[in-house]
Copies of this chain bind each other. A is one copy, B any other.
């Protein structure tokens, strides 16, 4: 049963933010264009669509992350409810992990809109790093445990943004935050993939609140793929490893 059958289906229900689903979107606009429409309330330009598509692709899967492990463990216990395994994996997309996109997007938006007219980006970045440092806060989107000169996902995203003339002030600012933080802390703190996407959320014209949503959309693709994959990590071994430790 299609779920629209649970009630009458007014014509308006097949309209997505003012565009007719069947006639104007299906087969006319790509999945990422329609996703942009649904999140922003308007269709993207060609440049926005290109950058937005790469942002979503960048987030699909980053190896055996906590979310993938959670989904696999959940499917092990409840093998007949794929939706439960995906939902469980998404529940970890919160403040600490992928959700930091939202925090980075908010920070950059906030810094730029609060800055006095004509303020130099270098000064804005310097002040933000100093303030965070004084309060013992870590800047979202800056620093990576593994990458020390470049997060290749961030580098690629910035190239795509440049090719589409969308490497504006938010991209500049996040790079300066990285440079300023690296200087202050005396060690390389790169713009990581969530910092790059946080900047680009703003560049492509989405509200910062959309940041966490992007992570949820891409990770759903990632988790569904992992759950359908017949290979992959043997869950029983992961469990046995955890159980071999004293449990409290």
Residues of A within 8 A of B (CB): 1-10, 12-14, 16-17, 21-23, 25-27, 29-32, 34-35, 38-39, 41, 50, 53-54, 56-58, 60-70, 73-74, 76-88, 90-100, 138, 140, 143-147, 151-153, 155-157, 159-160, 163, 192-194, 207, 209-210, 212-213, 216-217, 220-222, 224-225, 227-229, 231-233, 235-248
Contact = CB atoms under 8 A, between A and B. Distances in A.
A229 B80 CA distance: 24
A234 to B, nearest CB: 8
Contact of A80 (B2, B81, B143, B227): B81
Contacts of A81: 78, 80-81, 83-84, 91, 94
6 contacts: A3-B66, A76-B96, A79-B95, A81-B94, A87-B90, A232-B247
Nearest to A235: B66
Contacts of A5: 143-146, 192
Contacts of A247: 12-13, 63-64, 68, 232-233
B76 A92 contact: yes
A213 B82 contact: yes
Contacts of A239: 6-7, 64-66, 69
A220 B222 contact: no
Nearest to A86: B216
Dominant SS among interface residues on chain A: helix
B78 A99 contact: yes
Given A224-B213, A238-B238, A97 B77 contact: yes
